[in-house]
Amino acid sequence: MLGKHNFVRVAENIWEIPPTFRDDMRVPARVYADEGLLDAALGDNSVVQLVNTATLPGVIRHAIAMPDIHQGYGFPIGGVVATRLPEGVISPGGVGYDINCGVRLLVSLATAEEIRPFLEDVASSLYANCPSGVGSRGHVRLTNTELDRVLQEGSRWMLEKGYASRGDLDRTEEFGRVPGADAGFVSDRARERGRDQLGTLGAGNHFIEADKVAEIYDEAIAARLGIYSGNVAVQIHCGSRGLGHQVCQDYVSRFQKAVRDYGITLPDRELVCAPFDSEEGQEYFHAMACAANFAFANRQLLTHVIRHSFEQVLAGKIKDFELRQVYDIAHNMAKIEEHEIDGHRVRVCVHRKGATRAFGPGSAMLPDDLRDIGHPVLIPGSMGTASYVLIGTTEAMRQTFGSTCHGAGRVMSRAKAKKMVSGAELRDQLRSRGILICAGSMDGLAEEAPVAYKDVSRVVEVVHRLGIGRKVARLEPLAVIKG
Residue numbers annotated as active site: 406
Which of 8, 9, 87, 253 touches another protein by CB under 8 A? 253
* Smallest distance from another protein to CB 91, Å: 12
* Smallest distance from another protein to CB 181, Å: 21
Spatial contact of 33 and 462, defined as CB atoms under 8 Å apart: yes
Peptide bond into 376 cis (omega under 30): no
- For another protein, give the closer residue by CB, 40 or 468: 40
Spatial contact of 91 and 63, defined as CB atoms under 8 Å apart: no
Q: Does 192 bind another protein (CB under 8 A)?
A: yes
- For another protein, give the closer residue by CB, 58 or 239: 239
Q: Which of 324, 331, 305, 356 is nearest to 170 (CA)?
A: 324
Q: Does 139 bind another protein (CB under 8 A)?
A: no
Residues 24-83 that bind another protein (CB under 8 A): 44, 46, 70-74, 77
Which of 11, 134, 223, 315 touches another protein by CB under 8 A? 134
Task: Determine the Cα–Cα distance for residues 313 and 249; give it in Å rounded to an integer.
Answer: 41
- Give the interface segment with another protein, choosing from 112-120, 142-150, 247-255, 338-346 (CB under 8 A): 247-255
- Give the interface segment with another protein, choosing from 174-182, 221-229, 285-293, 408-416 (CB under 8 A): 408-416
- Cα dihedral 102, 106, 112, 115 sign: negative
DSSP code at position 410: B
Q: Does 281 bind another protein (CB under 8 A)?
A: no
Task: Determine the Cα–Cα distance for residues 127 and 481; give it in Å rounded to an integer.
Answer: 6
Could you give the 3-state DSSP secondary structure of residue 298? helix
Beta-carbon contacts of 217 under 8 Å, excluding residues fewer than 6 positions away, are 470, 471, 472, 473, 474
* Smallest distance from another protein to CB 68, Å: 11
Q: Which of 452, 458, 403, 400 is nearest to 423 (CA)?
A: 452
437 forms beta bridges with 480
Which of 248, 313, 421, 468 touches another protein by CB under 8 A? 248
- For another protein, give the closer residue by CB, 149 or 245: 245
Which of 252, 349, 462, 479 touches another protein by CB under 8 A? 252
- SS3 sequence, 178-224? CCCCCHHHCCHHHHHHHCCCCCCCCCCCCEEEEEEEEEECCHHHHHH
* Smallest distance from another protein to CB 206, Å: 10
Q: Does 154 bind another protein (CB under 8 A)?
A: no
Q: Does 369 bind another protein (CB under 8 A)?
A: no
DSSP code at position 332: E
**Interface ranges with another protein (CB under 8 A):** 44, 46, 70-74, 77, 93, 96-98, 134-135, 137, 189, 192-193, 202-204, 242, 245-246, 248-249, 252-253, 256-257, 268-270, 272, 410-416, 441, 443-444, 483
